[in-house]
Amino acid sequence: MYRLAHISDAHLGPLPGVTYRDLASKRVLGYVNWQRNRRRTMHDAIIDTLVTDIKASDVDHIAVTGDLVNLALDGEIEMARLWLETLGAPHDVSVVPGNHDAYVPGAFDKACRAWAPWMCGDGANHAVDRHSFPYLRVRGEIALIGVSTARATAPFMANGFFEEQQGARLARLLEETGRRDLCRVILIHHPPVRGALAQHKRLFGIKRFQAIVREHGADLVLHGHSHDPTLYWIGRVHKVPVVGVAAAGQGLGGRHPAAQYNLLDIGRVDSGWRIKLSRRGLTGPALTPAELLTMELGAEPEKSTA
């Protein structure tokens, strides 16, 4: 049995010192949003509590599906790198970037350089950049495939993009890992399903992503971005579960559920793979994570998408 923990949207704080030059961009809107909203509801103490619980759960690997930072300031990117060092060795932690990690032009490249050890495929001998995705990491019988949907966008937009070139590379990786009879787990920030989010936050390329998954196969998709613990499915015959998670730093009393993480136990069965999903998260002011849900992902879907 392989145990995988999934967290997302840490939005690590507090913000480092911000200059007027830093705010001469889309960042001014994010800064206002942080001061009015996120600063009150996103808490590092909560993230620390979740991470402590993850490490006590004897996990084999941790998947982080983006939005480590808020405004992608240089100081934030470096702070996130230090946080990743505490989270685990690069061999044991896989990261994909989110839209906040590419908040303004140039930020994505800086994040790639700083977080490269956690965002590269096995045996990679080149610098990590936007062309490095998707990457492939094989741990036991699990293939972790990291997709990037991150791109700097206009003010008031938080879209993701999954385009043709990355799609072709994803198709090849799914074919290769399928031939090796591995359990294929795709990590992506934006939910690759229709209707999951408002238009200004949605992923462009959903149709392409779903067509590739239906044609080449996958066993599990993990995403963030929505800040909600959701379950969707791709396909009608062979249903691929698409699992979201609450934001790792979300406090109690906000409009989204308090911080959670997904715990996935993956084991081989005669017909393929057995995946058990458990959600653990905060339920009260004591900041003690508790079991919120346990289910087999072969059960009837809560929501489905063609």
Q: What is the pLDDT of residue 15?
A: 56
Residue 275 resides in a domain: yes
pTM of the predicted model as reported, rounded to 2 decimal places: 0.90
Q: Is residue 211 part of a domain?
A: yes
Domain annotation covers residue 161: yes
Give a yes or no: residue 218 inside a domain. yes
pLDDT number for residue 270:
83
Number of domains in the chain: 1
List the end-to-end C-alpha distance of the chain, in Å, as a whole number. 30
The boundaries of the domain holding residue 203 are 2-296
301 located within any domain: no
Domain at 284, CATH number: 3.60.21.10
Count other C-beta atoms under 10 Å from residue 255's C-beta. 8
Domain assignment of residue 304, yes or no:
no
- Considering the domain boundaries, does residue 224 fall inside one? yes
Query: Would strands 183-187 and 220-222 be described as parallel, antiparallel, or unpaired?
Result: parallel
Q: Which residues of the chain have pLDDT under 50?
A: 19-20, 28-32, 34-36, 300-302, 304-306
What is the model's pLDDT at position 303?
A: 52
Kindly list the distances between the CA atom of residue 113 and the CA atoms of 37, 87, 102, 209, 272, in Å, as whole numbers in the listed order. Answer: 30, 18, 13, 26, 37
pLDDT 10s digits, 267-296: 999 878 999 999 999 887 767 888 888 999
Query: What pairs with residue 243 in β-bridges?
Result: 222, 231
Structural domain contains residue 34? yes
Closest by alpha carbon to 187, among 149, 229, 140, 231?
149
pLDDT recorded at residue 34? 45
CA dihedral 205, 8, 69, 56 (to 10 degrees): -160
pLDDT by residue (tens digit) across 115-140? 999 999 998 888 899 999 999 999 99
Question: pLDDT at position 35, please?
Answer: 47
pLDDT at site 28: 45
Scanning the structure block, which residue is given the tokens 């993701």? Answer: 160
